[in-house]
Amino acid sequence: MSLRSPLGRVLGLGSAKDGTGHWWAQRVTSIALIPLTLWFFFSLLLLPGLDYGTVKTWLAVPISSFLAMLLIAVLTYHSYLGTTAVIEDYVHAAGVKVLSLLLLRFLYVLFGGASIFAILRVAFGS
């Protein structure tokens, strides 16, 4: 007979060592991404062309650059949560796992930050 409580036994189990926070954030970001991605997708599709002038003029409109920044932020976070789960599931060697998760986190901040900075440059014309 085990004297550990049911809660004590499940805490820290699973490949990620935690779960509900990650699971919930994945759902919340996915709901937010439905309107954001559709807005981006249809905006590009409905532009008269994808030449420099048209795209730049469109993205420089405050509402476009604002929504694009929100999109990149939420998309980056959602994608980070997803690929993190993939690595946690399939990479089993402890050292490689920690290193790849760390590398992934840096890459997401790098690309997400670079994208948002690029949108700001278009929005403020520098």
Partner 1 sequence: MPVRVRPLSPHLQVYRWQISNTLSILHRLTGVTLALGLVALSYWLISLAGGEETYAAAMRVFASKVGLFFLIGWTFSFLFHLLNGVRHLFWDAGYGFERNQRHASGWLAVLGALGMTACVCLVVWHGLHT
Q: Which stretch binds partner 1 (CB under 8 A): 5-13, 14-22, 78-86, 95-103?
A: 78-86
Per-residue mark of binding to partner 1, 106-125 (x: CB under 8 A): -----xx-xx-xxx-xx---
Using the rule CB under 8 A, is 43 a contact of partner 1? no
- CB of residue 6 to partner 1, shortest distance in Å: 21
> Minimum distance between the CB of residue 99 and partner 1, rounded to whole angstroms?
18
Dump the DSSP string for the chain.
---S-HHHHHTT-STTS--HHHHHHHHHHHHHHHHHHHHHHHHHHHSS--SHHHHHHHHHSHHHHHHHHHHHHHHHHHHHHHHHHHHHHH--SHHHHHHHHHHHHHHHHHHHHHHHHHHHHHHHT-
Query: Quick check: 82 binds partner 1 (CB under 8 A)?
Result: yes
Query: Site residues (CB under 8 A) for partner 1?
Result: 27, 30-31, 34, 37-38, 41, 45, 49-50, 52, 55-56, 59, 68, 72, 75-76, 79, 82-83, 86, 111-112, 114-115, 117-119, 121-122
